[in-house]
Amino acid sequence: MDLKQLRYFVAVAEELHFGRAAKRLFISQPALSFDIRKFEEQLGVQLLARTNKTVSLTNAGQVLLGEARRLLLQASEAQRMTVRSAHGLAGRLRIGFVNSMLYRGMPQAVKRFEADYPSVEIVLKEMNTSEQVHAIQRMQIDMGCAHWGNFPTDVISTPIFAEPFLCCLPAAHPLARKRKVDLRALAQEPFILFPRTVSPHYHDLIIAQCVGAGFSPLIRHEARLWQTVVTMVGFGMGVALVPYTLRQVQDPRVCFLPLTGETLMSQVLLLRRSGDAEPVAERFVDYLIDAGSESPAKPHSSASRRAS
């Protein structure tokens, strides 16, 4: 079985007409018919049911069509990446990210990196922390930018950004006129928080911070994204604790105030497979840290230039 045979078969399977498939492939119809029959003989199965007027797929043909499409796509991708790697640093870098990375320099880092290394293609995939861990283990992404979690031994984590949490209030809230907010002042307020399944660590951390202040927060509403949390606060639906970088959300209906006392910190971690040291990924981390240093979220003090 070779790629030419697969291409011929897919063309006939999609057209269900030898004449149209031959025209699409720029070959003669007799040659195509001969090659398809030879392919069936080689496999020992009938792929196409033919009559004088119709062509249809057999069960075996249906199965092969899906696999053939997948193999042809992989072959095309391999060829494309080989061509892209003809000169210098090249390849594809698949990065998982939590939504708040859009405010921590991720778009700027991608834009600058691709401008400097046009032979590298960066693919971003929005995922929560647990989804990123599974994707790294299954080699579906090359690295991730996530929040804290319990990571398996084959996934290593390195802090790259750290920033304090702020109190997010409706702009018309009485506390909005203060310079700082004592967490205890929010004891009777309805809170907006993400479900624990989205980020167990930060969900529990915020709950524990409130309990430490002497109250259990009333979680009235839940949202999966920080931006949604801020928007709901703007509609007057409750209050929230959000990372400092969310101040970049331009919404005149909300205000962000620091908390008094011990500062609750938000960290972003770089996730990688244990033992991975791809040059493309290592170089991109430099760009990400540089771009992050220009945003409210500052690079973590323990992060090296390559966060290794």
Please write down the HEC assignment for all residues of 252-276. Answer: CCEEEEEECCCCCEEEEEEEEECCC
**Would you say the C-alpha torsion 140, 146, 150, 151 has a positive or negative sign?**
positive
Whole-angstrom distance, CA of residue 275 vs CA of residue 292: 25
Give residue 299's pLDDT.
55
Give residue 239's pLDDT.
96
One-letter identity of residue 16: L
What share of the chain in percent tops pLDDT 70? 91
The string of pLDDT tens digits covering residues 212-258 is: 999 999 999 999 888 899 999 999 999 999 989 888 888 899 999 99
Reported as a pLDDT band with limits 50, 70 and 90, residue 88 is very low
Report strand pairing: 254-258 vs 120-126.
unpaired
Summarize the confidence of residues 91-117 as an average pLDDT: 90
Q: Which of 224, 163, 234, 162 is nearest to 193 (CA)?
A: 224
Summarize the confidence of residues 69-86 as an average pLDDT: 75
One-letter identity of residue 107: P
Q: Does residue 295 surpass a pLDDT of 80?
A: no
What share of the chain in percent tops pLDDT 90? 53
The CATH code of domain 91-160+268-299 reads 3.40.190.10
Per the model's pLDDT, the better-predicted residue between 295 and 111 turns out to be 111
Residue range(s) of every CATH 3.40.190.10 domain in the chain: 91-160+268-299, 161-266
Whole-angstrom distance, CA of residue 93 vs CA of residue 101: 16
Residue range(s) of every CATH 1.10.10.10 domain in the chain: 3-84
Whole-angstrom distance, CA of residue 185 vs CA of residue 182: 6
Q: How high is the mean pLDDT of the chain?
A: 87
The string of pLDDT tens digits covering residues 133-184 is: 999 998 899 999 998 777 889 999 999 888 899 999 999 999 999 999 999 9
Reported as a pLDDT band with limits 50, 70 and 90, residue 298 is low
Give residue 274's pLDDT.
86
CB atoms within 10 A of CB 125: 14
CATH 3.40.190.10 fits domain 161-266: yes
Which pTM was predicted? 0.61
Q: Does residue 304 surpass a pLDDT of 80?
A: no
Q: Does residue 307 surpass a pLDDT of 50?
A: no
Whole-angstrom distance, CA of residue 157 vs CA of residue 136: 12
Whole-angstrom distance, CA of residue 110 vs CA of residue 129: 20
The string of pLDDT tens digits covering residues 183-218 is: 999 999 999 998 888 778 788 889 999 999 999 999
Summarize the confidence of residues 34-54 as an average pLDDT: 91
Q: Does residue 87 surpass a pLDDT of 50?
A: no
Which of the following CATH numbers is that of domain 3-84: 1.10.3720.10, 3.90.226.10, 3.40.718.10, 1.10.10.10?
1.10.10.10
